[in-house]
Amino acid sequence: MAEEELRAELQALKEDLARLRADLGGLMEALKEAGAERAEGYRERMSEELRRRREAVEERLEAARERGRQAVEELGEEVGAHPFSSLLAAFGLGFVLARLLDGGRR
């Protein structure tokens, strides 16, 4: 009888170990799924943040382009209003730059 009890207990222990393995396998699978879901959430948040930052950069770039266009228009109007003064200023600036660049070579 003691041998039968020992076998029964050994069989019960084997069954418990098998259930423990199955439970651990299920736990590992659940952890993998949770990690994958979390990673997907991070990826989505990072994609959204990247999209928002790209849009902000594009908006700033467009604003800078518009300011550049306005500056060119204003400069054109100023040159048109004072052509002789503009020509003299351009000549003087060119002369000064040429002297500075030429002086650096000597």
Q: Is the pLDDT of residue 105 over 70?
A: no
Q: Is the pLDDT of residue 7 over 90?
A: no
Each residue's pLDDT tens digit, 40-98? 888 899 999 999 999 999 999 999 999 999 999 998 888 888 888 888 888 899 999 99
49: CB partners within 8 A, 6+ apart: none
Beta strands (DSSP E) in the chain are none
Dihedral angle, C-alpha 41, 45, 47, 49, nearest 10 °: -170
Per-domain residue ranges for the chain?
2-105
Can you give the pTM of this predicted structure?
0.49
